[in-house]
Structures are given as structure tokens and as C-alpha cells.
Chains A and B, each alone.
Chain A
């Protein structure tokens, strides 16, 4: 299929899925949740400690948690901030479209989309981890795997994982779009007749 064909499928599928407010909500909620996780993960310990402390006023708890979201501008490079936002949006869209696809019982390419999407999220976690100097993931997982030196030798210090994640999520989105777009059409029968759904 041509590039234009993929993009046409994407447009058709987006139109079919996001005409339903429930899927818009699902995609939006997942995108926001993914973004929050990416930005706040390094300080989960601090946030849970503050929220568990009954002596801290709620306004102060919320104020600190919200101000930590500003870390996207100070604790991320321009590249990593860009792919973090892209991963969050693509993840929300892909999961909402997979959910739609499953509900339509057209699960042909959906399995591949789910597999690709899972790989993309794993890569995204590493990519987001590599955004800062060190980081939770780099500090805990990479030395354990014995590849810290290898990651440091990558030209973008591991931010390649984030870019890979965006690419995998986009392919996953195209696959599920194709599935949805095709299920909306009528397949031709060998004798020239058509098969409606």
C-alpha cells in the first residue's frame, strides 16, 4: 500500500472512531495519564510522601504536584520533551482505536498493533528515562543489564529509544487504522458481487 493509502486509512479510521465522544474521552484520559507518569515518575516518592502527610494542607500538596509538571520545560531536553508529548498523544490514540477495533470484532491486525504498541511503550520508558542525566530507569535497570556504557555511546545518549517509541506507536496506529478502514468497506466477492457487512 502507498504512503497516501496509509494516510487515507488513518483519516477514515480517525473519523470513524472519534465521532464517538467515549473514545475521545478515552484517548484524552490516556494521553494525559501517560504524560503525567512520564513527567512525575522521578518524584513519585516525594509526591506520595507529601500526599500521605496529613499535616500538609491540600493546597500545598496540589501546588507542589502541579509545579513539578513544569519539569517538562526544565528537566527535559527539547527533543525529549517533544517525543514525550508525542508518545502520550500517540499512545492515547492507539489504545482508543484498538479498543474500538476489538469492540467491532475486527481483530485481524489488532494483535500486531497491540504487540507493536507494547514494544513502543517499553522503548518509550527507556527513552523518557534517558532524557535526564541518569534517571530512575537508567539508574536501576541499565546497570543491571550491564549496558550503561553502550547507552552512553549512543549519539543521543539513549534518547534514540524515545524516537523509536514514536515510530513504533505510529506504525501501530497505521495498522489498526487499516483494520478499521477496511472493516468499513464492502469486500468484493470472486464472482464480482459484493459482500456487505
Chain B
């Protein structure tokens, strides 16, 4: 701003201040005079462009503050969600691929969801083609309001794991998604014993495990965790890098998208 401009902008303010002081000292409450002076000051500020510049700069600062706050809020929420993600445990979790891989993809899935069925194939391909760079952890997210059979099927998969270990769990999941049509159209009374037989489990012990309900709590825990980490639908996935950085992915996204996200996480060593 030029010196002349500065004086043009400040002078009316000084005049107003002096006038008001004078008026107060002499108890002369001439409101009309004060208003006229105010108008003159505002007119002068407008003419010099100072008012516009001050408003522009105020709006700019406000928008910048809003943007920074939104970014911080997003980061805080992401951190909060990440903190809700239970660390992967070899003894509890079902892990496919190299357990020491630099990237882990934790999937929360529903056995009756058609998109989970499609995503299951995507994930198999990803792990098979990753050369040990990514492993896949399967957790349960049965959507009871949409798929009333999904919870029982999740419990059945846990029975498979109890009786046959990690391999049996994955054989069960692969075969289940191959055989069933999704959207709650599975005949569980036929399909579950059939898969148990096909993957070499003791059918009587499998049926007994299923009837006991002892894995229901685990499924409920997984479901609660899926919600806490931000899951609103299935499949819900969280890609975790070696240094703990996480990326949440919603839905059955294409192979190319998941692969690029895994590559991004690999870079976060």
C-alpha cells in the first residue's frame, strides 16, 4: 500500500476517534453527527479498497482455518479407527499367505454377501501373485438385517478352523463361496455338512461344535470391531503396512485398485 493510501485509510478513523472523544468530553451526544462520520469513514474505506481487501483476507483466513480443521478431524478419526483395529494374532486370526509379509489386508466379510464372494476371488489372486509381499486376514462381519444365515455360516467356519486348523478354515471359505449363491439363498442344512465332509472334517464333531454355539462370541466380537473401525457394509478391508500405517477400503473393489493400495502400503516401511 502507498503512503497516501495508508493515510487515506487511517485518517478517517483518527477523525472519528477524535470526534468521539471530543463529544464524550463535552457530553454532546449528537448521534446524527456520529453516524455521518461513521458513514464517511466507511465510504472512504470502500473507496480506497481497504475494506474489500480486509474482507477478502478475512474470508481467505477463515477458509484456510476450516480446511486445516477438516484435515485434522479426518486424521483424528482415521487414527481413532486404526486404534480400534485389533492387532493380527497368529493364534487367533485366519491368515492366508506369508505371515511375515510386509503388508497385511484385514478383511471383514459376510458369507452371504455377493460382493464378498466376488472379492474372495480378487483376494486369492492378490495373495497368489504377491510373491509373499501380502497376507490376508479374514474376520467376520455378518449383516444380520440383510442376511439372516450369515452368522451361522461364520460360526461354521470357526468350527472348521477348530477341527482342522488354519488350512481347514480357508478350505471351508473357498468351497463355501464356490458352492453358494449368496443373498441368503444357501441351504445351510445341506451345504455345511457337505463342505465339512469334502474338506475332511469329522461330521459328527462339526455338527456338535455348530450346535454348541461356542464360537458365537468370537463372531460377535469381530462384528463389533468391524463397526468400530468404520465398516458400514461388506466387504470392509483395512490394508496395514509394516510401520502400522492403515488404509481403509470399502466394497469389492477391482484387483487393480487393491494391488495399487498394497503397493502404496509396501512403500510405507
Contacts and interface: CB of A to CB of B under 8 A. Distances in A.
Interface of A: 42-43, 45-46, 48-50, 52, 56, 60, 63-64, 67-68, 70-71, 73-75, 77, 132-136, 138-140, 148-149, 152, 157
Contacts of B91: none
A52 B122 CA distance: 28
A167 B116 CA distance: 30
B13 to A, nearest CB: 42
A133 B116 contact: yes
Contact of B253 (A49, A75, A135): A75
Nearest to B182: A133
B251 A45 contact: no
A49 B73 CA distance: 12
Contact of B254 (A42, A70, A135, A157): A70
Interface residues of B, number: 36
Contacts of B264: 50, 56, 60, 64
B71 A42 contact: no
12 contacts: A43-B253, A45-B78, A46-B261, A75-B115, A132-B252, A133-B146, A133-B233, A134-B233, A138-B233, A139-B233, A148-B145, A152-B146
A64 B78 contact: no
Given A75-B253, A134-B232, 15 more contacts: A46-B248, A48-B74, A67-B254, A67-B256, A68-B254, A71-B252, A71-B257, A74-B115, A74-B122, A74-B254, A133-B115, A133-B116, A133-B147, A136-B233, A152-B146
A43 B145 CA distance: 23
B74 A68 contact: no
Interface string B254-265: 101100110110
Contacts of A64: 257, 260-261, 264
B243 interface: no
A114 B251 CA distance: 32
Given A67-B256, A75-B251, A136 B232 contact: yes
B250 interface: yes
Given A46-B247, A50-B264, A149-B145, A68 B232 contact: no
B23 interface: no
Contacts of B106: none
B158 interface: no
Contacts of A134: 143, 146, 231-234
A157 B146 contact: yes
B114 interface: yes
A133 B260 contact: no
Contacts of B233: 42, 132-136, 138-139
Interface string B208-251: 00000000000000000000001111110000000000011111
B113 interface: yes
